[in-house]
Amino acid sequence: MSNPRTPSWRFFPWALALGLGVVVAVNGIMVWSALSSYPGRAGQDGFDLSNRYETVLSRDRAMSGLGWSVTVAMNETHHPVISIGGPPDSEKGTFQVDAVAERLVGPAHRTPLLFRAAEDGRFVADGTLDLPGQWEVTVRIGSVTRDYAVTKRVIVR
């Protein structure tokens, strides 16, 4: 008597279900990753910006030539804090620092910020960013002889 062999096709539906499950799981991970790391919004002025792109580049080269570095961080009370590196300390006291913070994800929220000089050479905003999430802070630094603008991203937790 010969042993009847079990057909290997009986595992086909399980293999098909496993393959589809892997595809659904990978797609779910990709959707979660895309939604949790949304980089921001697209601007509406792309064409206008491209028409004056050489002006934008020359302004950026002039600001880069100053050798300044600007960092934006949040303190424990959700006030943005700006540190400016590069210019001499004697010049830092003459700066006028203001900024606009825009929320990138979630309900649109725009907050103008005014900064005051702190004792350690940093600048602390008078307003707070209370909504959690990613914020894009566009900083404008003005002095008697120079102007500087930079956009930084901060995360409020």
Residue 83, token pair as written in the block? 């540190």
**Partners of 101 in the β-ladder:** 111, 137
pLDDT beyond 60 at 153: yes
46-156 sits in which CATH class? mainly beta
Residue 146, token pair as written in the block? 């120079």
Residue ranges of domains in the chain = 8-37, 46-156
Q: What is the pLDDT of residues 80-119, one digit of tens each?
A: 999 888 766 556 667 788 899 998 777 788 999 999 888 7
How many Cβ atoms are within 10 Å of 137's Cβ, its own excluded? Answer: 22
- When pLDDT is cut at 50, 70 and 90, the band that residue 69 belongs to is confident
**Partners of 85 in the β-ladder:** 69
CA 121/CA 11 separation, integer angstroms? 70
Kindly report whether the global pTM for this prediction surpasses the value 0.75.
no
